[in-house]
């Protein structure tokens, strides 16, 4: 907890936005993918999404792009990304 508290809140927010922007680049602002080979994430079950991110990171589900992306994510990041898209946020 002390380690978390030592990180300024604005830095945590910037990290969150940067990670989210990385997701949005392919999956769309709201998770509605415009690319037929890329899945839409909008309203997808959060538990499923975070489990898939973990599977990409562990190598259990290999994917050229997502394996690299998921390697950058902590467990908390995965939960946050999953929460964002599952709630159908964005414009």
Query: Is there binding between residue 51 and a copy of itself (CB under 8 A)?
Result: yes
Is residue 38 at the binding interface for a copy of itself, with CB under 8 A as the rule? yes
Q: Are 50 and 78 in contact (CB under 8 A)?
A: yes
H helical segments located in 28-86? 46-58, 66-71, 75-86
Tell me if 10 sits within 8 A of 51, measured CB to CB. Answer: no
Pick the binder of a copy of itself from 43, 58, 75, 87 (CB under 8 A): 43
Q: Which of 13, 60, 65, 74 binds a copy of itself (CB under 8 A)?
A: 60
Contacts with a copy of itself by CB under 8 A lie at: 33, 35-40, 43-48, 51, 60-62
């Amino acid at each position: 907890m002390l380690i978390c508290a030592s990180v300024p809140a604005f830095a945590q927010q910037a990290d969150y936005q940067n990670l989210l922007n990385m997701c949005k680049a392919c999956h769309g602002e709201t998770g509605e993918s415009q690319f037929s080979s890329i899945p839409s994430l909008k309203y997808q079950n959060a538990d499923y999404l975070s489990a898939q991110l973990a599977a990409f990171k562990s190598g259990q589900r290999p994917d050229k792009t997502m394996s690299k992306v998921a390697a950058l994510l902590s467990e908390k990041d995965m939960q946050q990304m999953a929460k964002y898209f599952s709630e159908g946020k964005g414009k």
